[in-house]
Structure 1
Amino acid sequence: MNSASEPWLATLRRRLLQRSPDALRADVMAALVVSVLLIPQSLAYAMLAGLPPQIGLYASLLPLLAYALWGSSPVLAVGPVAVLALMIAQALGALPPGVSPSEGALVLAAEVGLILLLAAALRLDALASLLSVPVLHGFETGATLTIALSQLPVLLGSPAQGFELPGLWQSAQSSGFAWHGWTAGFGLLACGLLLAGRRWLRPGLARLAPMGLLLLAMAAASAGDVASHGVALVGTLPPMDLHTSLPRTEAELWWNLAPSALLIALITYVSSLVVAESLARRRGEKVQAGAELRGLAAANLCAAFSGGMPVAGSFSRSVLLHEAGSRSRLSGVFVALFMGLAMGLLAGPLASLPKSVLAATILVAVLSGLKFQPFVEAWRYARAEALLMAGVAAIVLCWSVSAALALGVLGSIALLLQRTARPHVALIGRVPGTEHYRNVGRHAVQCQPGVLGLRIDESLLFTNARSLAEVVQSFLNHTEPGAEPMRRVVLLMSPVNSIDFSGLEALRELHSHLKRQGLRLDLSEVKGPVLDRLRAANWTRWFEGEVFLSHHQGMVQGQSNPVDKLVDES
């Protein structure tokens, strides 16, 4: 035993001894249920990525142990997932000559692990915010449809190939939309049985359906000698003995795969964190974002050195772990043990498994998670975000995953800038009989003659501060004819949490702009930290107005304490 393995074994032994018999029993049973689903999925997703099926099994062993040691979620099921398989397939499509897909997958896994490890070291937990909810929904929908379309040729025995819709359509046209009867029969029958199992079987039995279908298909294919009828089989697999592997070290290969690895790492972290946090809320638990980065980094590095492929948290398997009663991350350890046992038992029988049956398991699994309701809800709530969601899905389907993610992030930033480019300022008046001030467009209020009361509803930052004077002037231009001339403008600043240097300059410009018109600028209810920064900038050199502790005081009084005194009190 080498020294590197001793901490692993010591940690696992300690965690096993600390668990109660009931907790251990719950973890073992949950792991058994998930393993039954993971076996066909790991084979299918490896095939989807253009890799030998056994690569999926390798990616379901040591990575699970690594996440159990360094992750934080007791129910996040790490392993091969459909969306990552699609991204891996697209990344491996442009490998240089002499580099096999399996070797490319090891490099990708190593790069993903190192990127996540670097993000954990730099505490870049905020990486998850790069993908907004519309972008994430659009990406998942587009990826789901792309995966389903890519498996149709395999399901029907067609020579067509491709992932993006235009390429797949062109390939199908060039083959004359050919298909193979026996292969299509196996694939369509498998789809029907899986759907029937989901519809008619109890949940516990329905979870066993994919594994039962694989066993039934292998038996039927062997008994019927379907290979002689032209049905494509998985074929003889190499001996499934887990061994240490080293990724290739050519700098050019690593550089070429780096952009794809960066996107895969981002999707790995964001999608896994979304799943882990969603299930943690159901269980009344908390997920540590930093620990998730470390756990996923360790899982991918283990995959890179054990002949696997990039891995992430699976939504379907994680929900299954939760529903099956998983108590701790030890359930992942038991999943790995069951997968190791399956590797030894299934190496021979898997050779006779029809590929169309694996394609059917992918189709049914991914399409079961297809949801269009978020598009409807987004359209009702914010049409710009709904269009962004649909655009990302269309780009994934018709162009590429990397382009969709890049344009999705840029689109989210553009929408953010559009929303914040003009500060929201409300004209406010006094609610009769109170000292409360509300928007004149929403409440029956009284306005103070000669004093314009405005509320700034967001921080003054470089994204919105430039138009502050223009917005305030627009209110001055719309005063009622014959009304008492304005003498002062009082800005209610309580919603303002921060003023950056651009905001400070905008405030100074507004002050000068009003002074030229014979108006005085006053502020009310400025937060202490904001006042501290203003005072540090020595703003009293140019600010000639007053700062009031309450907006009501600023509206009804013509004079108050000096600015410096109120700054000290705040």
Structure 2
Amino acid sequence: MKSTWRADLMAGAIVAVLLIPQSLAYAMLAGLPPQVGLYASLLPLLAYAALGSSPVLGLGPVAVLALMIAQALAGLPAGVSAEAGALVLAAEVGALLGLAALLRLDALSSLLSVPALRGFENGATLMIAAGQLPVLLGSAAAGFTLPDLATSAVHGGLRPVSAVWGGGAVALLLLSRRAGPRLLARLAPLLLLVGAMGLSAFTPAASGVAQVGALPSLALPLALPSLDKPLWLQLLPSAALVGLMAFVSSLAVSESLAQRRGEKLLPAAELRGLAAANLVASFTGGMPVAGSFSRSILLHEAGSRSRWSLVFVAVFMLLAMLLLARPLAYLPKPVLAATILVAVLGGFTLRHYREAWAYARAEGLLMAAVTAAVLLWSVGAALALGVVGSIALLLQRTARPHVARIGRVPGTHHYRNVERHVVECRPEVVGLRIDESLVFTNARGLVDVVLALVAEHRAKVGEPRRVLLLMGPVNHIDVSGLVALQELHAALAAEDLGLEFSEVKGPVLDRLKAVGWLERYHVPLYLSHHQGIQAGEHALRPSLADHDAPGQL
């Protein structure tokens, strides 16, 4: 027990070191005061620790969500502050995730395929980095897309002294990553911020460089978010996108680490934990939060054993709030922008695009399209494209069932695809294998696929008299699939061909028995495909009652 507490305490201290600069930076990235990031890193952690299931999910402000929050808050009505809008957004995200948890909609995570998610994350990474360049260089340029950023950069100006501070900070951070030990690389952002605050406060070196400025007293503001109905309605679509992204990305991080650690993750609990964390953020002056991959990896590597490590992170964050209130006013903004730039670009890679293109070009194109939508359009449009594209690719893949013509591997009882193996085929029987469940998405194509394979068999092997379907890979047949089988039976009968099944799985056979389908259409059933092939045209066709055994397969 003592070793567990010691490990969690050490992991909490290490992650808090990383979370402090990230909280400040990502709040600024979202267009919010820096202290909002600190507020979002305190009590929301306790809420997740109470209801979540992962001991290593580094919850708090994250870069991708910060970009989405900034876009959502850009169109606030006059008189509504960004802080007030962020509280409403966090409340809506928490409420939507809570409703999804209540309705057990944790399957929502499957709406975004991995290529769509990676394309979105990479696009957001590049856009975040591009958005920090003006701050780094002392320019007034701003925008949430590359065209907007380029247009405003024409008249944005440039401050050489800011570029020196920003460029120097980037160089030091990169040097610490490449040349220094791992511990130094982890501490480098915090050490850099402390050093920059010292130089700015006690020397004239930062003259002419934009600073964070005086912060209000870092006393946790406990209050309800605004109850302005038009504001809630305006932010609701953005909250739905932020909530979806928060859950999908957090679940992807926690599931990958749970597999490494040999632990069981509960998606429903993750949904509840994220909902509670965002609701608490809305009552404590914060912003929408989610799981961070970099902080989660750090918790894992630091030896976190339980969710108590998140409690310790919150404790150390509270100490930071008490100690850093005054010094933060002197923090140069170019240095803060440098920490964002280096942090987000550290996770960017082109390898995912190359692998997706080599493996499945359609998915590679979707990944690239989602990235382009983030950079050139908006994060909302990119998410919508990712969801629609993922569903479209699924429908495209399943629109026609995969059916293979199979033959016997010589000297064995094994049957394989004639296109991939040297096999023996008997003229009088067409052996086919259906490689997926028959459901409404693919049922309509079954008849055409089978008839085409029958014609191929007739041309290459000989005139068949029956068609034997190996049904082993079929896990489910819905009503649409059942109707497709009836249409197939009729189409084969029109060509004087009999329809037969082999190796039907028990649950599928139970459903067919429930409606008497096999008896009604006189479809013979064989325990093995080899038995069906060997039955021959004039062999006694077994009745369903004689072959109850396949129901136990």
TM-score normalised by length of structure 1: 0.93
Q: Which residue does 2:2 correspond to in 1?
A: 21
Q: Which residue, 337, 341, 349 being the options, matches 2:319?
A: 341
Gaps of 5+ in 1: 1-19
1:410 and 2:388 are equivalent in the alignment: yes
Question: Superposed, which structure 2 residues align to 1:83-98 within 5 Å?
Answer: 83-98=64-79
Contact 1:161 / 1:172 at 8 angstroms: preserved in 2?
yes
Question: Superposed, which structure 2 residues align to 1:264-283 within 5 Å?
Answer: 264-283=242-261
Question: Superposed, which structure 2 residues align to 1:102-141 within 5 Å?
Answer: 102-141=83-122
Q: Distance in 2 between matches of 1:477 and 1:81?
A: 57
Q: Which residue does 1:437 correspond to in 2?
A: 415
Contact 2:505 / 2:550 at 8 angstroms: preserved in 1?
no
Q: Which residue does 1:503 correspond to in 2?
A: 481
Q: Tell me the secondary structure at the aligned position of residue 469 of structure 2.
A: strand
CA 1:482–1:335: 2 relative to 1, 3 Å: closer
Q: Tell me the secondary structure at the aligned position of residue 426 of structure 1.
A: strand
Q: Which residue does 1:218 correspond to in 2?
A: 197
Contact 2:527 / 2:550 at 8 angstroms: preserved in 1?
no
Gaps of 5+ in 2: none
Structure 1 residue 500, shift from structure 2 partner: 1.0
Q: Which residue does 1:190 correspond to in 2?
A: 169
Q: Which residue does 2:179 correspond to in 1?
A: 200
Moved more, 471-480 or 455-464: 471-480
Q: Which residue does 1:16 correspond to in 2?
A: none
CA 1:83–1:244: 2 relative to 1, 3 Å: same
The aligned amino acid for 1:23 is: T
Structure 1 residue 516, shift from structure 2 partner: 1.3
Contact 1:214 / 1:357 at 8 angstroms: preserved in 2?
yes
Contact 1:532 / 1:567 at 8 angstroms: preserved in 2?
no
Contact 1:151 / 1:359 at 8 angstroms: preserved in 2?
yes
Question: Superposed, which structure 2 residues align to 1:225-374 within 5 Å?
Answer: 225=204, 229-374=207-352
Q: Distance in 2 between matches of 1:142 and 1:481?
A: 51
Q: Which residue does 1:10 correspond to in 2?
A: none
Output one character per residue of 1:68-120: Cα deviation in whole Å (capped at 9) or x when no partner.
Answer: 11111111111111111001001001112221110010011111111111121
Q: Which residue does 1:488 correspond to in 2?
A: 466
Contact 1:234 / 1:350 at 8 angstroms: preserved in 2?
yes
Contact 1:548 / 1:560 at 8 angstroms: preserved in 2?
no
Q: Distance in 2 between matches of 1:349 and 1:183?
A: 19
Structure 1 residue 565, shift from structure 2 partner: 4.3
Q: Which residue, 119, 125, 129 being the options, matches 1:144?
A: 125
The aligned amino acid for 1:215 is: V
Q: Distance in 1 between matches of 2:460 and 2:354?
A: 49
Contact 2:8 / 2:309 at 8 angstroms: preserved in 1?
yes
1:47 and 2:28 are equivalent in the alignment: yes
Q: Distance in 1 between matches of 2:437 and 2:72?
A: 42
Q: Tell me the secondary structure at the aligned position of residue 403 of structure 1.
A: helix
The aligned amino acid for 1:353 is: L
Q: Which residue does 2:440 correspond to in 1?
A: 462
Output one character per residue of 1:21-58: Cα deviation in whole Å (capped at 9) or x when no partner.
Answer: 22222222221111111111101100000001100010
Q: Which residue, 476, 479, 499 being the options, matches 1:521?
A: 499
Structure 1 residue 542, shift from structure 2 partner: 4.4
Q: Distance in 2 between matches of 1:271 and 1:569?
A: 43
Q: Distance in 2 between matches of 1:190 and 1:275?
A: 29
TM-score normalised by length of structure 2: 0.96
Structure 1 residue 559, shift from structure 2 partner: 2.8
Output one character per residue of 1:354-381: Cα deviation in whole Å (capped at 9) or x when no partner.
Answer: 1111100100100111111111111111
Runs of 4+ with >4 A deviation: 480-484
Moved more, 319-328 or 60-69: 319-328
What is the CA RMSD across the aligned residues, in angstroms? 1.6
1:66 and 2:44 are equivalent in the alignment: no
Q: Tell me the secondary structure at the aligned position of residue 478 of structure 1.
A: helix
Aligned length: 548
Moved more, 137-146 or 199-208: 199-208
Structure 1 residue 139, shift from structure 2 partner: 0.7
Q: Which residue does 1:167 correspond to in 2?
A: 148
Q: Distance in 1 between matches of 2:508 and 2:550?
A: 13
Q: Distance in 2 between matches of 1:302 and 1:484?
A: 72
Q: Distance in 2 between matches of 1:376 and 1:415?
A: 19
Q: Distance in 1 between matches of 2:408 and 2:506?
A: 24
Moved more, 367-376 or 472-481: 472-481
Q: Which residue does 1:391 correspond to in 2?
A: 369
Structure 1 residue 560, shift from structure 2 partner: 2.1
Q: Which residue, 158, 166, 186 being the options, matches 1:179?
A: 158
Output one character per residue of 1:486-537: Cα deviation in whole Å (capped at 9) or x when no partner.
Answer: 2111111111111111111111111111111111111111112112212223
Contact 1:187 / 1:356 at 8 angstroms: preserved in 2?
yes
Q: Distance in 2 between matches of 1:182 and 1:118?
A: 50
Contact 1:164 / 1:398 at 8 angstroms: preserved in 2?
yes
Output one character per residue of 1:303-336: Cα deviation in whole Å (capped at 9) or x when no partner.
Answer: 0000000111111111111212222211111111
1:552 and 2:530 are equivalent in the alignment: yes
The aligned amino acid for 1:439 is: N
Structure 1 residue 131, shift from structure 2 partner: 1.0
Q: Which residue does 1:566 correspond to in 2?
A: 547
Output one character per residue of 1:448-482: Cα deviation in whole Å (capped at 9) or x when no partner.
Answer: 12111111111111111112111111122224559
Output one character per residue of 1:249-308: Cα deviation in whole Å (capped at 9) or x when no partner.
Answer: 122211111111111111111111111122222222222111111111111111000000
Contact 1:417 / 1:463 at 8 angstroms: preserved in 2?
yes
The aligned amino acid for 1:79 is: G
Moved more, 47-56 or 449-458: 449-458
Contact 1:531 / 1:567 at 8 angstroms: preserved in 2?
no
CA 1:541–1:281: 2 relative to 1, 3 Å: closer
Output one character per residue of 1:333-359: Cα deviation in whole Å (capped at 9) or x when no partner.
Answer: 111111111111111111111111110
CA 1:555–1:339: 2 relative to 1, 3 Å: same
Q: Distance in 2 between matches of 1:563 and 1:142?
A: 57
CA 1:210–1:528: 2 relative to 1, 3 Å: same
Q: Which residue does 1:5 correspond to in 2?
A: none
Q: Distance in 2 between matches of 1:429 and 1:53?
A: 68
Q: Distance in 2 between matches of 1:21 and 1:526?
A: 55
Q: Distance in 2 between matches of 1:33 and 1:457?
A: 50
Q: Which residue does 1:8 correspond to in 2?
A: none
Q: Tell me the secondary structure at the aligned position of residue 518 of structure 1.
A: coil
Q: Which residue does 1:77 correspond to in 2?
A: 58
